[in-house]
Structure 1
Amino acid sequence: MTVNERLSESSMLDLFYTAVEEKNVQQVMAIFKQMELTDSSITDILISLGFKYPDDGNQ
């Protein structure tokens, strides 16, 4: 199942898109953690979305 399908199934798709539009990387990460994605997968997705991994507190 794709991440998009998982977001839709979990009713978090709108919340996810809002977080992305607001560039709220912490919220995006929290959503992915709730979906039980691995840290590696989360990092890859954040990079593909144009976010920097927030290891230094920056977006």
Structure 2
Amino acid sequence: MKSIKRIGLCISLLILIIFVTSCGGNKIMGDSKEEQIKKSFAKTLDMYPIKNLED
């Protein structure tokens, strides 16, 4: 009976660790992806000259 509880605890802990690490990695990738999109957009805008928008 003790071994079943121990195995269940180990499996639960392993699932929790996998869940936490996968969520943390996704946030890091999301930030860099957002920065890449901003850089790409700025690069695209720099290719085309824009006249004064106030006129």
> Normalising TM by the smaller chain, what interval?
under 0.3
Q: Which structure's relative contact order is higher, taking Cα pairs within 8 Å and 6+ residues apart? A: 1
Which structure would you say has the larger Rg? 2
When you count helix as a share of all residues, which structure comes out higher?
Answer: 2
Q: TM-score, normalised by structure 2?
A: 0.26
